[in-house]
Amino acid sequence: MRVFLVDAPHKVWPLMRGWTPNPGILPLGAYLEKDFDIKVVDGTVLENSWRDFEEIMRKEKPKIVGISCVAACFIYDTMNACRLIKEVSPKTVIVAGGSHPALVPEETLRSCKEIDYIVVGEGEITFYEFLKAFEKGEKDFSQIKGLAYLEGDKFIYTGDRPLIEDLDTLPMNAYHLFDMSNPGYNIASEGKNSTAVTFSRGCEYKCTFCSETIFWRHRWRGKSAQKMVDEFQLLKEKYGMVTFFVGDDMFNWNRKRTEEFCDEMIRRKVGVNFWIQTRADFLLRDKDLIPRLKEAGCYQIMMGLEHHNQKVLNDINKKALVEQSIEAMKLVKKNRISVMATLMLGHWGDTKENMYDFYRFARPYLHHYGQCIITPLPGTPFYKEMKRLGRIKETDYSKYDYLHAIMPTKTMSLDEITGTLMNLHRKFYLHWRFFLQTIFPEHPMIRPIHLHFLRYAWYTFKQEAFGAPEWTQPGYQTYEEYLKEKETSNAKRRMQNA
Ligand code: B12
Ligand code: SF4
């Protein structure tokens, strides 16, 4: 049976211009293709996004579509794609999966009647079992764990499916299902031949705002060092990828795995560059491994520091100390690796003034920072708490991308938060230290990344000063623009026929 795996046309992340194959479809396709004929439709790379997408669905009339939604901010695109599919192919059965639909399945099913089922959580086995039953013509899926659907108006959840214990039992990600030669696929800030890979799932901490830990049920599982290095090698040798963002929430959760990974990378002389994400305390624990990581190709370490105020860290249950953040930044810098941190500002107690404290706190050490606005991601404890307190003022999920303010603070409006963050961004990136780091980089990878950010600053300036349009990937159109265009061309056709 042919199964379509779809990523809806949606905007690609403008800041880093990160554009990679959908990370949920890669392992899913690999797991399913042993028994099914898998066809991937990546709506982000189509020449004329929605028009081509509609055309493919009209022509193929798929029996079944699995659609992935990796982030809350793409849920409307996902829903619109489902509507379009049902419009041109009403009999297609649509199964959605990925972080957002899985975290709020009932809300998603009720908001989009075109979605027939949602796979909640890890997708491989649940979707495989579903497809096997569907292929046999079964109509009752109530015995398949991990599935949500509406029966009439009643919401049904079949219950949690146990997680896959050993991720090494999964096949290699199915890169071959995507057109990896597409020049668009890269993370522009990291250079042309770059992409993202993920070697583990989840984290065992319980930060209240984090959708990852809740999605993976507060468990960490990782692939072995052998499999990690195999994937790097495949991507380098078959697809020419040499620079990687490693998306693991907690790269060095397991110290032994990190040691083995470094040894294997060095032994096999893989020759790629990569950057990782982790927590400050785990980095301090593994400080002796940093030179090995660097030798293995690590050029940047991003730490989820989140805030410069201990009270905020305690409030979000970060279980971390501000002093650890400073120590960890110093440590990475001392190793001449690019220091990156995620900072989440816009908490209830944040004021214009104390948002600048962040600057004083981190500026001396940082090369980059993932500046985020604290976002109540649906399905997280933080969302529930903020909703209960009546603080959520922005309900448009397309803005839940960490760049838009969703809640005011005690003293700042949504616009003031966004404005202050933009100012901080300018202050950070247009600082003499940043230019100095570009001219005398501590690591050779720092210069090209800095140059990307300076280019980005230039585009932003043009946007703000001269109203230049925001960058989007070629061929991209919003769904609303597409509907308008369709209506105009239908009207023209009607006039010609009249
Ligand atoms: C790689 C990555 C990226 C890459 C590329 C992503 C892409 N092509 O979509 C880059 C760097 C470009 C990126 C950008 C952004 N990202 Co990002 N990204 C990740 C990251 C680090 C890894 C994703 C991954 O590999 N997951 C592993 C796979 C196996 O898990 P999965 O996708 O959940 O898939 C499983 C299930 O969900 C399910 N499933 C998934 N799809 C489907 C479909 C069907 C039919 C079925 C049945 C099942 C199913 O089965 C899969 C296998 O079990 C995650 C954090 C993380 N560690 O997961 C953040 C994350 C997904 N990103 C996030 C965000 C917000 C963004 C951005 C919007 C911007 C930002 N400010 O960070 C941008 C824009 C995205 C874009 N596509 O343009 C958030 C989403 C939060 C949320 N709940 O909304 C995350 C969770 C980070 C975080 N901690 O907050 N991202
Ligand atoms: S440490 Fe990071 S990945 Fe883990 S729960 Fe906290 S924010 Fe999420």
Q: Does residue 250 have its Cβ closer than 6 Å to ligand 1?
A: no
Which numbered atom of ligand 2 lies nearest the CA of 304? 2
Proximal ligand: closest to the CA of 210: 2
Residue type, 185: Y
Q: Does residue 211 have its Cβ closer than 6 Å to ligand 2?
A: no
Instruction: State pLDDT tens for residues 70-84.
Output: 999 999 999 999 999
CA neighbor of 357 nearest in space, from 404, 321, 391, 322: 322
Residue 165: pLDDT band (50, 70, 90) is very high
Res 399: pLDDT? 96
Which residue CA neighbors atom 20 of ligand 1 most closely?
247
Q: Which residue has the higher pLDDT, 471 or 86?
A: 86
Tokens of 36: 């099914």
* Residues belonging to the chain: 498
Cβ(294)–Cβ(337) under 8 Å? yes
Alpha-carbon distance of 180 to 56, in angstroms, equals 20
Q: Does residue 216 have its Cβ closer than 6 Å to ligand 2?
A: no
Q: Does residue 201 have its Cβ closer than 6 Å to ligand 2?
A: no
- Residue the block writes with tokens 């059965």: 93
Q: Does residue 40 have its Cβ closer than 6 Å to ligand 1?
A: no
Q: Does residue 210 have its Cβ closer than 6 Å to ligand 2?
A: yes
Res 320: pLDDT? 97
Q: Nearest 5°: CA angle at 420, between 414 and 426?
A: 140
Query: What pTM did the predictor assign?
Result: 0.96
Residue type, 119: V
CA 277 to ligand 1 centroid distance, Å: 14
Tokens of 419: 């404005």
Most ligand 2 atoms within 8 A of CB, residue of 200, 207, 216, 306 to mutate:
207
CA 68 to ligand 1 centroid distance, Å: 10
Res 163: pLDDT? 98
* Per-residue pLDDT at 14 exceeds 80: no
Res 32: pLDDT? 98
Q: What is the mean pLDDT of residues 401-420?
A: 95
Most ligand 2 atoms within 8 A of CB, residue of 208, 212, 252 to mutate:
212
Res 103: pLDDT? 98
Q: State what percent of residues in the chain have pLDDT above 90.
A: 83
Most ligand 1 atoms within 8 A of CB, residue of 16, 70, 245, 449 to mutate:
70
Instruction: State pLDDT tens for residues 15-35.
Output: 778 889 999 999 999 999 999
Q: Does residue 18 have its Cβ closer than 6 Å to ligand 1?
A: yes
Q: Does residue 297 have its Cβ closer than 6 Å to ligand 2?
A: no
Res 357: pLDDT? 87
* Per-residue pLDDT at 474 exceeds 90: no
Q: Does residue 379 have its Cβ closer than 6 Å to ligand 2?
A: no
Alpha-carbon distance of 441 to 435, in angstroms, equals 9
CA 428 to ligand 1 centroid distance, Å: 27
Res 96: pLDDT? 98
CA 482 to ligand 2 centroid distance, Å: 38
Q: Does residue 202 have its Cβ closer than 6 Å to ligand 2?
A: no
Q: What is the mean pLDDT of residues 125-152?
A: 98
* Per-residue pLDDT at 69 exceeds 90: yes
Q: Does residue 23 have its Cβ closer than 6 Å to ligand 1?
A: yes
Report CA 4 to chain centroid distance, whole Å: 21
Res 472: pLDDT? 85
Residue 66: pLDDT band (50, 70, 90) is very high
Q: Does residue 279 have its Cβ closer than 6 Å to ligand 2?
A: yes
CA neighbor of 6 nearest in space, from 58, 48, 53: 53
Q: Does residue 402 have its Cβ closer than 6 Å to ligand 1?
A: yes
CA 379 to ligand 1 centroid distance, Å: 15
Which numbered atom of ligand 1 lies nearest the CA of 5? 45
Res 467: pLDDT? 86
Residue 462: pLDDT band (50, 70, 90) is confident
Q: Please report the domains of the chain, with CATH numbers, ordered by start residue.
A: 2-157 (3.40.50.280), 185-454 (3.20.20.70)
How confident is the prediction for the chain on average, in pLDDT? 95
Residue type, 367: H
Instruction: State pLDDT tens for residues 314-367.
Output: 999 999 999 999 999 999 999 999 999 999 999 999 998 888 888 888 889 999
- What phi and psi values does residue 7 have, to the nearest 5 degrees? -115, 120
CA neighbor of 133 nearest in space, from 85, 64, 67, 82: 64
Res 473: pLDDT? 87
Q: What is the mean pLDDT of residues 469-489?
A: 90
Res 387: pLDDT? 98
Res 427: pLDDT? 86
Q: What is the mean pLDDT of residues 108-134?
A: 98
Q: Does residue 281 have its Cβ closer than 6 Å to ligand 2?
A: no
Report CA 228 to chain centroid distance, whole Å: 19
Instruction: State pLDDT tens for residues 421-432.
Output: 888 888 888 888
State how far the alpha carbon of 288 is from the alpha carbons of 191, 320, 325, 352, 390, in Å: 29, 20, 17, 39, 46
Q: Does residue 127 have its Cβ closer than 6 Å to ligand 1?
A: yes
CA 174 to ligand 1 centroid distance, Å: 16
Instruction: State pLDDT tens for residues 271-304.
Output: 999 999 999 999 999 999 999 999 999 999 999 9
Packing angle between helix 25-32 and helix 124-135, nearest 10 degrees? 50
Q: State what percent of residues in the chain have pLDDT above 70.
A: 100
Which numbered atom of ligand 2 lies nearest the CA of 250? 3
Res 211: pLDDT? 98
Res 425: pLDDT? 85
CA 203 to ligand 1 centroid distance, Å: 15
* Per-residue pLDDT at 369 exceeds 90: no
